[in-house]
C-alpha cells in the first residue's frame, strides 16, 4: 500500500506547475439591430499565448482596428461586427482549437426573454458553432455545460487533488474520512457561492498562495502522525478540512469567474459547476481508495521510513507552488 501511495505522490510531483484550467471566452453583445460588440479573452499560460483566432462567416463584416490589452494574465481583444441578418445563421469558428487542449466559452446575450443568453462550450471536437434561427436556450444545456466544466476543473486541479490526497493519507478511519470530505465539500461550496454571487471578494494570488500553504500544513501533519506524535489535525480532520475548504472554494470561484456565468441562469450555472466539482472529487477519492485496497494484496510491506516519503513529496511540491504564487503578488 505504501508503495502505491509513493507512486501516486511521485505522479503528482511531476506536475510542478499547478493547474491553469482557464478557458478562453468569446462574448458577442448586441449594440443595435445589426451592430454587435465582440470581446475575445485568451488566457496567457506559462507566458505563452495560444494561437487561437476567431473566424466569422462571409456575411459578417468586422470593423477594424481591434483594441488589444492584457489584464490579469489574459490577452483581451475587443472590436465590432455588423451583420444584415442579425445573428440568425451566424457561423463562428475558432481556428487553432482543433487538436488542442483548450476550451472556449461562447456567450451571446440576447434581447429575447425566451433565450436570455446562448452559452456554448467549444473544444477540439466541436470548434464551430452556428446560431440557429430563433434559437432558444435550454436550461439543461447550461446545466450539462457547467457540470462538465466543474468536473474537468477539479480533475485538472492538481493542487486541490493533492490536498484531498493528503487528507486520505492522514485519516485512517474510513468513517472519519467520509465526514472529513463532507465538511471540505460543504466549506468550498459555501465560498464558491459567496464569491460568485459577489457577497465576498478576495484577490486571487493571495488565495492561491494560502491554498499551497494548506497542502504544506497537511504534509507536515502526515509526518507528525507517522512519527507517533499527537496531532489535533488527525483527531479533528473535519475541522481542518472545513477551514481550508473555505479557501479552496475561493480558488474554485476564481476559475468560475474566468469562465463567466450567464446572468439570467447564474444559479443553474453555479449549482451545476459545483456538482461537477463534487463528482470529480468523489471520482478521485474512489480511485485512490480502490487502488489502496487492491494494493494491499499486491505489495509487501516497505520499510517504516518509506511511509513519510509521500508526505515529503507532497510538501515539496506545495512549497514550489507557494513560492511560484508569491511571485504573482
Which CATH number characterizes residue 44's domain? 2.60.40
Residues 28 and 13 in one domain: no
Higher model confidence: residue 69 or residue 316?
Answer: 316
Residues 133 and 214 in one domain: no
Calculate mean pLDDT across residues 126-155: 76
3-state secondary structure of 47: coil
Q: Is the pLDDT of residue 125 over 80?
A: yes
Closest among 264, 321, 326 to 12, alpha carbons compared = 321
Residues 10 and 28 in one domain: no
| Residue 36 contacts residue 83 (beta carbons within 8 Å) | yes
In a domain, 144, yes or no: no
CA end-to-end span of the chain? 40
| Antiparallel, parallel or unpaired: β 35-43 and 24-30 | antiparallel
Rounded Cα distance, 246 and 110, in Å: 35
Q: How does pLDDT run across 31-84, given as a tens digit for each residue?
A: 877 888 899 988 877 667 778 999 999 999 998 788 888 876 788 899 999 988
Report the sign of the C-alpha dihedral through residues 191, 196, 200, 204, in that order.
positive
Q: Work out the number of other CB atoms within 10 angstroms of the CB of residue 327.
A: 8
Please tell me the predicted confidence (pLDDT) of residue 302.
65
- For 10, 73, 104, 267, 287, the CA distances from 3, given in Å and listed in that order, are 11, 39, 40, 44, 16
Q: Is the pLDDT of residue 254 over 70?
A: yes
Name the pTM for this structure: 0.70
In a domain, 149, yes or no: no
In a domain, 72, yes or no: yes
Residues 130 and 180 in one domain: no
Supply the range of the domain harboring residue 101.
24-137
Q: How many domains does the chain have?
A: 2
- Tell me what the pLDDT averaged over the chain comes to: 81
Q: Quick one: cell of 322?
A: 507557494
| Cis check: omega of the bond before 120, within 30 degrees of 0 | no
Residues 170 and 319 in one domain: yes
Residues 265 and 122 in one domain: no
Amino acid at each position: 500500500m505504501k508503495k502505491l501511495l509513493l507512486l501516486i505522490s511521485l505522479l503528482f510531483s511531476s506536475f510542478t506547475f499547478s493547474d491553469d484550467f482557464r478557458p478562453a471566452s468569446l462574448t458577442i453583445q448586441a449594440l443595435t439591430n445589426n451592430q454587435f460588440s465582440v470581446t475575445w479573452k485568451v488566457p496567457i499560460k506559462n507566458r505563452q499565448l495560444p494561437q487561437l483566432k476567431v473566424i466569422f462567416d462571409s456575411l459578417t463584416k468586422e470593423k477594424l482596428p481591434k483594441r488589444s490589452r492584457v489584464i490579469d494574465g489574459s490577452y483581451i481583444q475587443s472590436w465590432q461586427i455588423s451583420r444584415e441578418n442579425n445573428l440568425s445563421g451566424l457561423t463562428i469558428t475558432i481556428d487553432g482549437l482543433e487538436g488542442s487542449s483548450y476550451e472556449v466559452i461562447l456567450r451571446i446575450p440576447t434581447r429575447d426573454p425566451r433565450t436570455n443568453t446562448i452559452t456554448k462550450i467549444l473544444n477540439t471536437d466541436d470548434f464551430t458553432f452556428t446560431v440557429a434561427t430563433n434559437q432558444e436556450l435550454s436550461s439543461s444545456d447550461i446545466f450539462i455545460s457547467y457540470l462538465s466544466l466543474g468536473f474537468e476543473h477539479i480533475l485538472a486541479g492538481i493542487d486541490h487533488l493533492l490536498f484531498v490526497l493528503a487528507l486520505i493519507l492522514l485519516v485512517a478511519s474510513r468513517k472519519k474520512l467520509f465526514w472529513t470530505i463532507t465538511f471540505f465539500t460543504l466549506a468550498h461550496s459555501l465560498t464558491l457561492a459567496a464569491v460568485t454571487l459577489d457577497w465576498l471578494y478576495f484577490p486571487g494570488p493571495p488565495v492561491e498562495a494560502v491554498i499551497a500553504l494548506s497542502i504544506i500544513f497537511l504534509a507536515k501533519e502526515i509526518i507528525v502522525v507517522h512519527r507517533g506524535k499527537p496531532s489535533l489535525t488527525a483527531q479533528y480532520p473535519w475541522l481542518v478540512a472545513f477551514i481550508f475548504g473555505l479557501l479552496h472554494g475561493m480558488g474554485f470561484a476564481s476559475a468560475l469567474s474566468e469562465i463567466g456565468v450567464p446572468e439570467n441562469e447564474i444559479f443553474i450555472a453555479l449549482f451545476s459547476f459545483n456538482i461537477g466539482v463534487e463528482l470529480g472529487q468523489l471520482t478521485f477519492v474512489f480511485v485512490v481508495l480502490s487502488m489502496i485496497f487492491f494494493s494491499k494484496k499486491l505489495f509487501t510491506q516497505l520499510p517504516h521510513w518509506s511511509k513519510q516519503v509521500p508526505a515529503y513529496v507532497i510538501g515539496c511540491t506545495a512549497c514550489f507552488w507557494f513560492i511560484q504564487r508569491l511571485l504573482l503578488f
